[in-house]
Chains A and B, each alone.
Chain A
Amino acid sequence: MTATSTRTPASAATVAAPTVRRAAPPARRRPRWNRISIVGLIFVLPAALYIIIFQLIPVIYGFVLSFTKYSPLSRSGPKPVGVDNYANLFTNGDFGNALLVTGRYVLQVLPLTVVIALVLALLVARPFRGVSFFRSALYIPHIVSLTAVSLVWLWMYSQDGLINELLNAVGLPDQAWLLHPDSALNAASAMRIWKALGSNMVLLLAGLQSIPKELYEAARVDGAGRWNSFRYVTVPGLKPMLVYVVAMDIIYLSQGFAEIYVLTKGGPLGSTTTINYLIYTQAFQYNQLGTASAMAFVLFALIIGFSFLTMRSLTGRQK
């Protein structure tokens, strides 16, 4: 069996990236029903059926609920109220504030996490002795129980905690990290970045592994240095994985809740109240599932919109 390489002549390495693509994506014609696509449908079916039944139907149920007033405790079930829940969101100052907080949170955490994780992934991609140790060390924040580690962070940030002790040791004054509206979200973001580094690193590691070494060979032979090699081989090769990482991070960060709950309970002065925090409170403390659903679907629309825009800009013409 012979396979032809898509490698282009050597001089291409010094030219801009697109010609060094190692794999043409599947042609973007409209797909038709044929033997391949039918089998494709069959391959997709188990996962699709499962998700449709156990994830999509609850989502649709939630969407319907967003047009009702419903307490799970109520004996009479959901009461239709039209678009009242959505209309009330417009005048709900807390909701508007939460949108801003969530947006800021995503924008603060996402770029830093991705960039740092990429650096880390590059550092641990080579299989030198002891690389497993470093990979594990960098991944541990992601797997340690959030509640347990939040208690440590809470102490680290407290008036007499670790960070202030270290600052005092070098003569700097205490900071009220979690108590000041200006610094609380930053403090929470720092913890989230710390926690998310590991998972992004793992994904980018996997992405790095799938870039064929021949491309680096070709680039090296053509005289590309480290930076050019990175720019014209690594980054394009990582694009699909980067798209996934960014989309996944947007989705998860927009739903940020647990770390905020432990660190600041949404304060001070609402500066860390994310939308999901409001949603959780509405659903399980105020027993207002209708309002919670409406908030969730507004958030949903924003996540989809933002992810779509980001993915588009990351992948350029191709998708």
Chain B
Amino acid sequence: MGVIASRHIRVAAALTAAAVLVLTGCSSPPKSSDHGSDATGGKLSVWFPGNNQTEIDLVTRTIVPAFEKETGATVEVTYVDWGDISTKLNAAFAAGTAPDVFGHGPAAAADFVANDRLAPLTKDVATLSKSDRDDMAAALPGGQVGGVQYLMPLSNQGNLIMYNADDFAAAGLDPDKPPTTWPALEAAAQKLTVRDASGAITRSGLLLPTQATGRQQSFAALLGGAGGSALNKDGTKATWNSAAGKKALGYFADLYNGPHAVSAALGQDYSNAPTAQQPLVLGTASMTMLNSTAMEAIKAASPDKDLRVLPPLKFSGHDPAALGGAGPGLMINADSKQQKLAWKFISYFIDPKVSAQYTQGIGAVPLRASAAKTAYVKNDPIMQAFLKAAPDYVSNPNVAGWVQVRDILDKHLEQALHQTTSVKDALDQAASEADPILTANG
């Protein structure tokens, strides 16, 4: 047995040595652009913010071949979901191995800009025709930092409220003339809320997202509809503790608390729940705020329900607002040696036909207003609603440190919703914690 054991060790050692040699030699199989055999057009590395199969198919089978044919360059695409990509980008920038083109959600752009990591896209955007720029007017601002375009969005996104028209009718409300203000919505929700014998809510009249970061998004929509804004124009100071902010948060907290509450399950993340567990599908809510992808899935799962979309809401005396605007998009590495190629690659995605195909494939809101004419939108009332709401979208500020500031606000919003702090204190404390981070942007 001892002989066998020591032979095991020798075998293990030999294996290890062999494996090490094999591994270092055998990395990814050489691509056509490796080892100095440069294609005429150069090499472009792209980290694409998404890994949905339709996306991948579109990029790999349509866009990349067309691009490579036209420019003679080769493209290496890595697909990483934009939720995971921060870690990868951090490591790459620290080591100097960041790609030429990479993608992320708009909230991250400002931090890259603050560290001089992005090439401005203003000149490139200026080469687009005015009608093009107008067509994308709802999305472009979301990719701007300090008024300069750094991120080219690939789609629009937004949060709207989906309601069950049958529930409306059963409660004596007119589903064809739904509320247009938040207070009217709450009143309707009270009629829609169903309670059991012990007084617990079994069907919420209205559900707004209240999970981590979801709460901040709901608050942003309410704040916008009350005419307020999260930060001042420079992004150096929090202004969410204005009167508008207090009205918005007070409204939000009242949904969950008190004898006239209309919402249950505070903190539950229904936004990311499987379709079969969505409150509208289960019948545990009559109105929920959702993005377009979720709405499409819910509609497909409940074809027998009459589910419709509310346009953005407001508080009287102010403009309607919904949280929305640019979705994840692509940016160009400031150190890239292929900046012209990089823009060329990006511009493929904003071509009307490609853009329509892309957004339809991932179920997102189209980038261009002109997409209203495509079959994707024309046959789909949900898409129409999101596209129509585009002018009323307000987006989160694009300033450095926003992710941290947003988390601070989010934390205090939660306390106000749970009523462990008052609305006023929550907003003031959040502002005083956030201001030191924001003043650095001055």
Contact = CB atoms under 8 A, between A and B. Distances in A.
| A–B contact at 8 Å CB threshold (below) | yes
Interface of A: 71-75, 94, 155, 158-161, 176, 178-179, 181, 265-270, 281, 283-287
A269 B277 contact: no
B284 interface: yes
Given A73-B111, A74-B115, A270-B411, 11 more contacts: A71-B111, A73-B94, A73-B112, A73-B117, A158-B268, A158-B273, A159-B265, A179-B268, A269-B420, A284-B87, A285-B86
A94 B411 CA distance: 10
Nearest to A161: B277
Interface string B336-356: 000000000000000000000
B212 A265 contact: yes
A286 B403 contact: yes
B276 to A, nearest CB: 10
18 contacts: A72-B90, A73-B89, A73-B93, A73-B117, A159-B284, A160-B282, A161-B277, A176-B265, A179-B267, A265-B212, A267-B267, A269-B415, A269-B418, A281-B407, A284-B87, A285-B403, A286-B401, A286-B404
Contact of A287 (B111, B407, B414, B415): B111
Nearest to A71: B115
Interface in B37-81: none
A233 B92 CA distance: 54
B404 to A, nearest CB: 5
Nearest to B116: A75
A158 B414 CA distance: 19
A265 B277 contact: no
Interface of B: 86-87, 89-91, 93-94, 111-112, 115-117, 211-212, 265-268, 273-274, 277, 282, 284, 401, 403-404, 407, 411, 414-415, 418, 420
Main secondary structure on A side of the interface with B: loop
Contact of B115 (A75, A158, A176, A178): A75
Nearest to A286: B404
B90 A158 contact: no
Nearest to B89: A73
B286 to A, nearest CB: 16
A266 B267 CA distance: 12
A62 to B, nearest CB: 13
Given A72-B90, A159-B265, A285-B403, A266 B284 contact: no
Contacts of A178: 267
A236 to B, nearest CB: 27
Contacts of B93: 72-73
A71 B86 CA distance: 12
Contacts of A94: 411
Given A158-B268, A176-B265, A265 B403 contact: no
A268 B418 contact: yes
A160 B276 CA distance: 11
A10 B87 CA distance: 62
B86 A158 contact: no
B212 A267 contact: yes
Contacts of A159: 265, 268, 284
